[in-house]
């Protein structure tokens, strides 16, 4: 019996055996059929194999799939793309035997697909996500969740009906840095939040979306008809296929591409549902390559008083002709300090005291403390830096970890479609503000534009 017990413990692990011993007082009395029952109930949900297919195997979709495959018990179940070069690359990367297709519905029909990653240009997110949910697949959809504000509720409704896990791909909010910032803000590390700012600064052709056009790009290698089947009909144009971000039929301009990340992190850290006023200005200053969208964009946002936070203002900036100001940045400013938030680091800066130049306030303060006017004070550290431990696998890895964990435990994710829409909408409305030259009023609770 002892040796049976030893080999049993080896099989199910010590913790598992302890759990069994706790639930069955007489271990020695355990019969074969009980062991079957016990073994089944002890299978960790984290070990459940999941088969993931990729729809849109370009730059980010491929990175998503590679990151997903770094997790245990994840395998690739297929790839869908409209450009033959991407299909060929997928076979080189993940094996010549994988299932490939140019029609996302062929992926969704397969019973060996548990979840899909949607890495297509933005104008395909809504339809493919809804089709995937209706087919009973879990969905990881790249940001921004939708191409236009009017698509948001359709995705939310399809998700609610499906009972599946749906996570949007602004991976930063799963980072150690964002989690630490959320905790620090709640603990009052910077006092009461009143302002936040963020920016993306780039200065390179690739950074400004001038991607290489493959030499073999043609209607023979690209399924152009399908690509434009849900938008304006046009003759084949390789620029519009490979540099889709520059055109509004497919992309969502700087704000949909980049501001959305800052909204996601900010909303996660503050628990905010979003701003109620949105205004954007900008211009096309440098990359005049036929694009329809600006290369410098400023956004201003008013966050109202809410159950989650006091009112504050947000200012965002995106500059593709930026020679000076670094790369990406998110900063929260409160009454007692500020916090720079990166995915693997948070830097808190504190004020020692608040000095006022107002003569009345200065006289008042001298009256109340004249006996100790020149006495020095104890001061805490002015700057505290929290760094991720060495070997941290990063936000993207964590984001997929959260997605798979939710699927396996029938749980939830932070960046679900409601969260994803609340992050996407103010970003997309920046384009409305910019192009229509007007302020936009948004209801962040009902998720509707206010007239
Ligand atoms: N989370 C991030 O940090 C991050 C970074 C970059 C891009 N993105 C997002 O990822 C998505 C893809 O961006 P990208 O830079 O990888 O673009 P990309 O052009 O490199 O890749 C898009 C791929 O989708 C394919 N495609 C187009 N329509 C399709 C359809 N209907 N069905 C199947 N495949 C289709 C194209 O052939 C292409 O291979 C975008 O939504 C973008 O906003 C997210």
Whose CA is closest to 399, among 259, 274, 265?
265
Whose CA is closest to 222, among 207, 206, 235, 209?
235
**Are 96 and 147 found together in one domain?**
yes
**Are 70 and 124 found together in one domain?**
yes
- Check pocket membership of 256 for ligand 1, CB cut-off 6 A: no
* Rounded Cα–Cα distance for residues 368 and 377 (Å): 16
Predicted local confidence at residue 370, as pLDDT: 60
**Are 24 and 67 found together in one domain?**
no
Which CATH number belongs to the domain containing residue 255 in this structure?
Answer: 3.30.360.10
Predicted local confidence at residue 45, as pLDDT: 79
**Are 179 and 164 found together in one domain?**
no
62 CA closest ligand 1 atom index:
16
- Check pocket membership of 59 for ligand 1, CB cut-off 6 A: yes
**Are 187 and 248 found together in one domain?**
yes
**Domain membership flag for residue 248:** yes
**Domain membership flag for residue 401:** no
- Check pocket membership of 343 for ligand 1, CB cut-off 6 A: no
Predicted local confidence at residue 15, as pLDDT: 35
Number of domains in the chain: 3
Q: How far is the CA of 144 from the centre of ligand 1 (A)?
A: 11
**Domain membership flag for residue 24:** yes
**Are 146 and 178 found together in one domain?**
no
Predicted local confidence at residue 41, as pLDDT: 40
Read off the pTM.
0.89
**Are 342 and 357 found together in one domain?**
yes
**Domain membership flag for residue 407:** no
**Are 201 and 213 found together in one domain?**
yes
- Check pocket membership of 208 for ligand 1, CB cut-off 6 A: no
Predicted local confidence at residue 395, as pLDDT: 98
Please list the alpha-helical segments (H only) found in 135-254: 152-162, 176-186, 224-227, 238-242, 253-254
Predicted local confidence at residue 380, as pLDDT: 81
**Are 186 and 283 found together in one domain?**
yes
Last residue of a domain, one of 145, 169, 193: 169
Predicted local confidence at residue 354, as pLDDT: 55
Q: How far is the CA of 73 from the centre of ligand 1 (A)?
A: 25
**Are 231 and 332 found together in one domain?**
yes
Which CATH number belongs to the domain containing residue 81 in this structure?
Answer: 3.40.50.720
What residue numbers bound the domain in which 424 lies? 173-396+416-450
- Check pocket membership of 86 for ligand 1, CB cut-off 6 A: yes
**Domain membership flag for residue 8:** yes
Whose CA is closest to 264, among 159, 148, 178?
178
**Domain membership flag for residue 259:** yes
CB 40 within 8 A of CB 48: no
* Rounded Cα–Cα distance for residues 16 and 5 (Å): 12
**Are 160 and 180 found together in one domain?**
no
**Are 236 and 278 found together in one domain?**
yes
**Domain membership flag for residue 408:** no
**Domain membership flag for residue 316:** yes
Q: What is the pLDDT along the chain (451 residues), one digit of tens a residue?
A: 333 433 333 333 333 333 333 333 333 333 333 333 333 344 567 889 999 999 999 999 999 999 999 999 999 999 999 999 999 999 999 999 999 999 999 999 999 999 999 999 999 999 999 999 999 999 999 999 999 999 999 999 999 999 999 999 999 999 999 999 999 999 999 999 999 999 999 999 999 999 999 999 999 999 999 999 999 999 999 999 999 999 999 999 999 999 999 999 999 999 999 999 999 999 999 999 999 999 999 999 999 999 999 999 999 999 999 998 777 889 999 999 999 999 999 999 997 665 666 777 677 766 666 666 677 778 888 999 999 999 999 999 999 999 999 999 999 999 999 999 999 999 999 999 999 999 999 999 999 999 8
């Amino acid at each position: 019996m002892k040796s049976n017990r030893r080999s049993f413990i080896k099989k199910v692990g010590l913790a598992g055996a302890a759990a069994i011993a706790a639930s069955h007082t007489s271990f020695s009395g355990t019969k074969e059929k009980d062991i079957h029952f016990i073994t089944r109930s002890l299978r960790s949900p984290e070990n459940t194999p999941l088969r993931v297919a990729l729809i849109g195997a370009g730059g980010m979709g491929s990175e998503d799939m590679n990151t997903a495959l770094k997790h245990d018990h994840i395998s690739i179940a297929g790839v869908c793309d409209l450009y033959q070069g991407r299909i060929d690359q997928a076979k080189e990367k993940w094996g010549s035997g994988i299932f490939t297709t140019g029609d996302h519905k062929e992926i969704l029909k397969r019973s060996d697909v548990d979840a899909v990653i949607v890495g297509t240009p933005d104008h395909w997110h809504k339809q493919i996500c809804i089709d995937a949910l209706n087919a009973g697949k879990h969905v990881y959809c790249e940001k921004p969740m939708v191409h236009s504000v009017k698509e948001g509720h359709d995705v939310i409704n399809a998700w609610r009906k499906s009972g599946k896990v749906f996570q949007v791909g602004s991976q930063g909010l799963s980072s150690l840095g964002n989690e630490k910032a959320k905790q620090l803000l709640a603990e009052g590390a910077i006092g009461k939040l009143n302002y936040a700012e963020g920016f993306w600064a780039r200065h390179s052709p690739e950074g400004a979306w001038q991607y290489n056009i493959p030499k073999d790009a043609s209607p023979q290698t690209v399924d152009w008809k399908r690509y434009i089947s849900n938008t304006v009909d046009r003759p084949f144009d390789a620029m519009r296929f490979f540099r889709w971000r520059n055109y509004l039929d497919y992309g969502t301009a700087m704000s949909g591409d980049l501001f959305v990340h800052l909204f996601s992190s900010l909303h996660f850290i503050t628990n905010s549902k979003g701003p109620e006023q949105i205004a954007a200005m900008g211009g096309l200053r440098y990359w005049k390559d036929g694009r329809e969208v600006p290369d410098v964009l400023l956004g201003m946002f008013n966050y109202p008083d809410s159950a989650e936070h006091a009112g504050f203002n947000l200012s965002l900036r995106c500059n593709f002709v930026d020679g000076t100001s670094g790369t990406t940045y998110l900063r929260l400013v409160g009454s007692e300090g500020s916090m720079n938030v990166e995915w693997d680091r948070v830097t808190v800066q504190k004020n020692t005291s608040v000095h006022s130049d107002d003569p009345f306030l200065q006289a008042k303060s001298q009256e109340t403390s004249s006996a100790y006017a020149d006495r020095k004070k104890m001061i805490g550290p002015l700057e505290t830096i929290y760094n991720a431990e060495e070997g941290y696998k990063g936000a993207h890895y964590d984001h997929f970890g959260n997605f798979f964990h939710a699927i396996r435990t029938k749980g939830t994710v932070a960046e679900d479609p409601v969260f994803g829409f609340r992050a996407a909408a103010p970003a997309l409305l920046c384009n409305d503000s910019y192009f229509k030259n007007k302020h936009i009023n948004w209801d962040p609770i009902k998720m509707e534009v206010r007239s």
